Amino acid sequence: MKRLSTWASVFLVLALFVLLANPVTSRQEETWLQIKRAHYTIFYQANFEKDAEFARTWMDRTEQLMKAKYQVTPDHYQMSVYLLPAPSDGIDPNLSGRIKCCTRILMV
């Protein structure tokens, strides 16, 4: 099996259209719906179900690609994907957000 770096690099592609982060205090007052799977959870708000399904499709396809091409699975890892209804907190069409893994924060 290959190292996690291969798995992580494949998921970086998804960062172009989603915000990947852990729960943030400022988001706790908002109502988030969830799609929960073994290796990821997609958080979204009401009326954005199509966006959530689109993200779910690409997360599933990415896992399938990782397994078929690299023979790796994201076992023991969990991603949280937040689909924001509008740009906020320094996030705009040119900056998709922060990818936080372990102890480092990568700016995308």
Q: How many domains does the structure of the chain reveal?
A: 1
What integer pLDDT is reported at residue 59 of this predicted model? 95
CB atoms within 10 A of CB 7: 20
What integer pLDDT is reported at residue 4 of this predicted model? 46
What integer pLDDT is reported at residue 99 of this predicted model? 62
Mean pLDDT by 10 residues, the chain (108 residues): 48 41 49 94 95 96 95 88 82 68 50
Instruction: Return d(Cα 28, Cα 50) in angstroms, integer.
Output: 22
Query: Residue 42 sits in which domain range?
Result: 4-107
What integer pLDDT is reported at residue 25 of this predicted model? 42
Instruction: Return d(Cα 29, Cα 62) in angstroms, integer.
Output: 31
